[in-house]
Structure formats: C-alpha cells, structure tokens
Amino acid sequence: MALNEDVLRLPGDPLPEGCVLRLYSMRMCPYAQRARLVLAAKDIKYDRVNIDLNNKPGWFFDVNPNGEVPVIIHNGNHVYQSLVCAEYIEEAFPTPKLYNTDPVDRAWEKIYYGHWNSKGIPAFYSLMKAGCLDPEQTKRLTEQITVMENFLQKKKTPYFSGNKLGFADYMIWPWFERMPMLGEITGFQMTKEVFPHLMAWIDKMWQDKAAQECKIDSKLFVDHYSKYRTGKPDFTIGAQKDNIVHETLENLDGLRDPSTRFRQSKN
C-alpha cells in the first residue's frame, strides 16, 4: 500500500509512519509501475513520491544520475532502473515469493520479459509516436506481441510465471494495460481470435489485487500519451501542480530529450 503524495521529500527525510521504504515514481510511468506492482503484491506499505520529470530537482541526480524513475530508498541505500528495483524488492522482501524456484523456469521468466523489454516496448512506443496504424510500425508491434503469444502457447500455463501469477507477469503487464490506450490513439487492437492466450492472460491479470491497486484511470492514460507522442508530455498529469514544463520527445522508445537527463541546478 502506497502513501501517495506529490510533495517532494528528500531521500534522507523520515518515512511516514508504517512505511518501510520510499519509491520515487511518476504516476504514468510503466517502468515505475513494475516496482509498484511488486510492492502491492507483497502488501508492503511504502512512501511514494511522484517526480515531475520535466522539472527534476538537482538532488534527484544524486540517487539516479540518469534522472529517471523508479528509484528506491531503503535502509539508507538507493537503487534504480526498473528491473533492478523490482528484483531488489523481491529479494529484500521474499514473502510472498514471486520468483520461480526452479532454475530452468526462472531462466525462462527472464527470457520472456527480456524479450518484451528489448523488442516489444520499443515497438509499442514506435506505433504510439506514429499516432495511426502506420503499416510498418503496426507490423513491428504485431510481430512482437505474436512472440509473446507463442511463448504462452508453448508454456501451456495461464501465466508467464507458470500456473500462478508471478514476477515475469508483473514485468510485462504495464504495457498490456496500456494497449486499450494505444488503440484509442492509433486504432491498434488485440483480439481473442488472433491472440487467444494473451487475451486470456489479460483477463486473469485484471482479476489480480496488485494490478487493480496499481491501475491508472484510462482517461488519464489517453490524455498523457496523446501529449507524450506529440513531444509535449505532462508528467504531472493527475496531480495538482502549477508551472508545467514541456519538453521535446526525440526517441521512438519513449525516452525524453537527453538534455533533461543532466543536472540543471544544485537545488
């Protein structure tokens, strides 16, 4: 359970009562959502601090020199990068266990979300930036979703982690939660006829307590990504904040203007 506020708190500030760690996040970020899903699945109470990625304080680069979320502060230490943060939570708080215990199954989990990380996510953002059913980008994303469909078909289990939902499913889920939003922007659709195993998995994921706790209002999704794809993202959407700063989006995989990654001040 997250204590969710948009008030910036420093890494060394005391945690609110009952919280065991601090997560620097951004409300719409699928990478940060990975950590949030694992925290929710383990019913960990934590302090969630949303960062305006267009207007990052200088001290944020001390905990992540890339200026990105998520970042975890725990017991005076910090870790960053989405998979690293999720793995850290799993290992620091091993109950309930989300990893597969069998080494072969665990290796295949990494293959599943590793493929989505390297191939599926860039294809997702390429189509989103196109803003329509661009033939090349539609084909690219469809091919990568087909790979994920075939993974599930060959595994013959309802989840990527096996017969019960686990770590791999949470690492893949944020982008499939966003598929309806992608459809509103581009017209892209997934159907049960083409992707029966994935669509059954999506239905089961929506029944999960952690997925429900971490879901974001679909209207906010569309509002955020409609601006994001045009190069003027609002990273404070859904929050009560003034002086929103817009920046240029340059990359196809969802990364922002590289100049915003560098420390801008000593604040």
Would you please indicate which residues are annotated as catalytic (active-site) residues? 29
Q: Whole-angstrom distance between the N-terminal and C-terminal Cα of the chain? A: 30
The SS3 of residue 163 is coil
Q: What are phi and psi of 176, to 5 degrees?
A: -80, -30
Distance CA 246, CA 154 (A): 44
CA distances from 187 to 191, 202, 215, 254 (A): 13, 19, 22, 19
Q: In what order do the strands lie in the sheet with 22-25?
A: 2-5, 46-50, 22-25, 71-74, 77-80
Distances (CA, A) of 256 to 54, 219, 234, 248: 9, 22, 12, 7
- What's the CA gap between 76 and 114, in Å, rounded? 30
Q: How far apart are CA 73 and CA 49, in angstroms?
A: 11
Amino acid at 195: F
